[in-house]
A and B are shown apart, each in its own frame.
Chain A
Amino acid sequence: GNSVTQMEGPVTLSEEAFLTINCTYTATGYPSLFWYVQYPGEGLQLLLKATKADDKGSNKGFEATYRKETTSFHLEKGSVQVSDSAVYFCALSVGNSGGYQKVTFGTGTKLQVIP
């Protein structure tokens, strides 16, 4: 089956520090990869995505590169802000025989940025 493994949180960083949140996956087929962010009391928001190997998704200073050889999609940001404090979810989607692309989410990594 498909699975997504994220690094355990919480991750606590000082403002302007470099962020890496690791994400690895296993999938049958060729998945699309996503990062979602969830701020307190809100739903998940799509942060970035990549649909094929070596693609780099980017948004709001966050980046992640689809690495097929290492089955990874690590999230990075060069300089975090307090406003980046949230829970980050890695996810993949793969088509199935019924035409529906099942999405598998990781368990989430909580990021806390302190001033």
Chain B
Amino acid sequence: DAGITQSPRYKITETGRQVTLMCHQTWSHSYMFWYRQDLGHGLRLIYYSAAADITDKGEVPDGYVVSRSKTENFPLTLESATRSQTSVYFCASSERIGWGYTFGSGTRLTVV
């Protein structure tokens, strides 16, 4: 199916563990983004990518790592999960700047 898919949909992990959230899009959009959504903070940009092998930090990058070896994939890794990283994570893509984003359905991550 065409679109942007995130996996897993739900994840529970322990403090200190490494966890990777996956994001895959089928349109070959150049731009991809990772956001976290928290009550009281709204949506905050973690990392973004303008093309394969081009990534840059957003507002809240600490504790996260991204890679983009292929245009269609943009995984987000929490190197050593902390409770403060409990959140809903959204991946998004955009074909062109200013055209608006298409969001995935999100991954609800709980760090215990």
Name A's B-contacting residues (CB within 8 A). Answer: 32, 34, 36, 41-46, 49, 51, 89, 93, 95, 98-103, 105-108
CA distance A89 to B103 in the complex (A): 13
Instruction: Find the A residue at minimum CB distance from B106.
Output: A43
With known contacts A99-B50, A100-B50, A100-B56, A46–B100 Cβ distance under 8 A: yes
- Taking residues whose C-beta sits less than 8 angstroms from the other chain, chain B's interface range is 10 to 19
- Interface CB pairs A-B, < 8 A, 18: A36-B101, A36-B103, A41-B105, A43-B92, A43-B104, A44-B43, A44-B90, A44-B92, A49-B100, A89-B42, A95-B97, A95-B98, A99-B97, A100-B50, A101-B98, A102-B45, A103-B45, A106-B42
Name B's A-contacting residues (CB within 8 A). Answer: 42-43, 45, 48, 50, 56, 90, 92, 97-98, 100-106
Residues of B within 8 A of A105 (CB): 42-43
With A43-B106, A89-B43, A103-B101 known, 19 other A-B pairs at CB within 8 A are: A34-B100, A36-B103, A41-B105, A43-B92, A43-B105, A44-B43, A44-B92, A45-B103, A46-B100, A49-B100, A89-B42, A93-B97, A93-B98, A95-B98, A98-B56, A100-B48, A100-B50, A103-B45, A105-B43
